[in-house]
Amino acid sequence: MPNLYPDLGTEVENPDSNTANMTDYISVGEALKLVAPFKGDKRDLLAFIANADTAFEVIDPRNASTLFKFVLTRISGEPRTDIAHRNLENLEELKEFLKNTYTEKRTLDYHANQLFSTKQSKAKGVSEWIQRIQNLGSKFREAALQDCEQDERAGILTLADKLRNIC
């Protein structure tokens, strides 16, 4: 019986094609699907930035300027108006502008203090208190990740998770 499927190692290989690059990157359209719209909500900013970073990591670097133009279209509302009045050239400039404009300006110490000093009131149930702890833990985590270096990220995430479990 003949083999219906080609032997990918010999029959499909084309010495003129650059198959290694085809498998390393995804298209700009596919990468753009990773970036959720941003409308100015401070709670969504860090997720937007992380998703944009991921999208830029998985595309061919030669397509970065094209992807940047499409990422700008994922921003709407007040941030879009603010960006229109600036000459932002790349993702790093966009991230810096968004962080300076749309992030909470509270310190890491403030969030840690809120997390450690919260108490369950007699009028509120356990589930409401747990939700508050989780919310404060998320804010602490976001504040910790705000200005961290890439090599510090894993330690900060571990610490934030442990602190949330302690409270």
- Condensed to tens digits (0 to 9), the pLDDT of residues 44-79 reads 888 899 999 999 999 999 999 999 999 999 999 999
Number of domains into which the chain is organized: 2
Are 98 and 28 contained in the same domain? Answer: yes
**Residue 14 domain-assigned (yes or no):** no
For 15, the 3-state DSSP assignment is: coil
Residue 112 pLDDT > 80, yes or no?
no
**Residue 4 domain-assigned (yes or no):** no
pTM: 0.56
Are 40 and 82 contained in the same domain? Answer: yes
Which of 102, 130, 145 is the last residue before a domain boundary? 102
Q: Which residue has the tokens 């790349």?
A: 90
**Residue 16 domain-assigned (yes or no):** no
Q: How far apart are CA 65 and CA 35, in angstroms?
A: 15
Q: How far apart are CA 54 and CA 98, in angstroms?
A: 17
Q: Which residue has the tokens 């998703």?
A: 51
Are 30 and 93 contained in the same domain? Answer: yes
Domain that holds residue 63: 24-102
